[in-house]
Every structure is written in C-alpha cells, then in structure tokens.
Amino acid sequence: MTQIPFIGYHCDGFPPVESALDEPNGLLVAGGDLAPERLIEAYSKGIFPWYEDDQPILWWSPAPRAVLYPAEFTPSRSLKKTLRKQTFKITVDTVFPEVIISCSKPRVSGDGTWITTDMTEAYIKLHQLGYAHSIEAWAGNELVGGLYGICLGSIFFGESMFSTKSDASKVAFCSLVELCNNKGINLVDCQVANPHLASLGAVDIPRTTFKKHLQTLIPDKGAFDRHRGTWSAINK
C-alpha cells in the first residue's frame, strides 16, 4: 500500500498537490488539525479534508477537478419550470448550523456521514468568522434543502448539499450561482464530479488549470476577506 505523509498537530504546511496519489484519487496527506487558519490555507491551495470518525484527518486534492463557471450556468428546462413556480423561499446565512447538520445526516444512498462532529464544529467556526456560507431552501417554515461552502477571494468552494423535497437543493444551487454572479465570484469548486453535479453544469478541468484559477482568483491574503460579511439574505 502506498504511504502518504503524516503531518503533526499545528502543522507548518501542506506538501505540493502534485504529490497527491492517483489511487485513491487526490489523497495528499494525513493528520494536522481543523483550525480556521489550517482550513483557509488548505482551500487556498486546492486542498480539502474528507475523512470518517475512525480515521485521522485526510486531506485531498483530486485531479481532474470538478468546477462550475457561474457566468456560463444555464438551468435545464425542467429546472427553469421549477424556478418559475417559486416553490421555495431562499435565504442566505440564516441557519448555517442547521444546514451543515442536515448535510451530515445519512441518506438513502449512504452518503453524508463523512461530515464528522469535529468538521461540523470547525465549519461553524468558519461561518462565525465570515468565511463559510449557507444557502437555505424553505417550504413554509420547514428547511427542506440547502448547501454550504467557503468563499475565498472570487471562488466559492462548495462542500455539501441536502434536500428533503424534490429540487430543493437544485433551487438552492441556482440561487448560489445568482449570488456568485452578482458578487463577482467567478468559480464554484465542486471537488469531484458526480451525475448530480454534472446535471447542474459542473465540468472537469486539469489540476494545472485549477491551480491557475486559485492563483488568479485568490491572489493574496487580502483577497481572502473580499466577500466576508457581505453575504446578505435574498428571497424568492
């Protein structure tokens, strides 16, 4: 079995993403911690944590990388029909903890349980600091869908979404794209492609292209703060 580096608590930095394994795709390093500064450093380099409760923290940077360009997004005909019905009310950053907890619940497919308690607490802290954001879909007073992620510079790094009513997460995603276009956010990182993301317009790009996007859209530390505190609620 191929070995990967192990970094200690309060690590000094991550190895180059080019050293990530091909199998499993993108596994880069283990260990470290989920402190805000560690997570911000990781995302700015195209690295994200993904592990289960019985594992050390595992950090990933897969190639190719699934992304979506908000300016090029066009909803499907059926999704346009759903949007016209205005079935759901959309809010932003009103119930972030509820969204990430909902995303962490097991689903019929078995996905979702990788969001550990430690990760939930870490991203809630990032939300309190103004870096992590949620989009919420409501049916009346019931939270029925949503997504969350991190915004650095002009990139939104999507983490997870959930839906308890048909199309609720898709409508939330459309609202995210609208918000990105309004705020000059040029790229949505979707991490790894799947049929659901592909149906929303996600495409695979090479690691070299993704790295260029990171360098261009998050050019310096000051850019991290560009959109902090500016996300305001929108209603549909």
- Give per-10-residue mean pLDDT for the chain (236 aa): 72 86 95 94 96 92 97 88 89 96 78 80 96 96 97 95 93 95 95 88 96 90 53 45
> Among candidates 145, 137, 223, which has minimal Cα distance to 184?
223
| Domains located in the chain, CATH noted | 6-62 (3.30.70.3550), 66-224 (3.40.630.70)
Question: 157: how many CB neighbours lie within 10 A of its CB?
Answer: 21
pLDDT of residue 125: 97
pLDDT of residue 196: 83
Beta-bridge mates of residue 6:
30
pLDDT of residue 111: 52
pLDDT of residue 235: 41
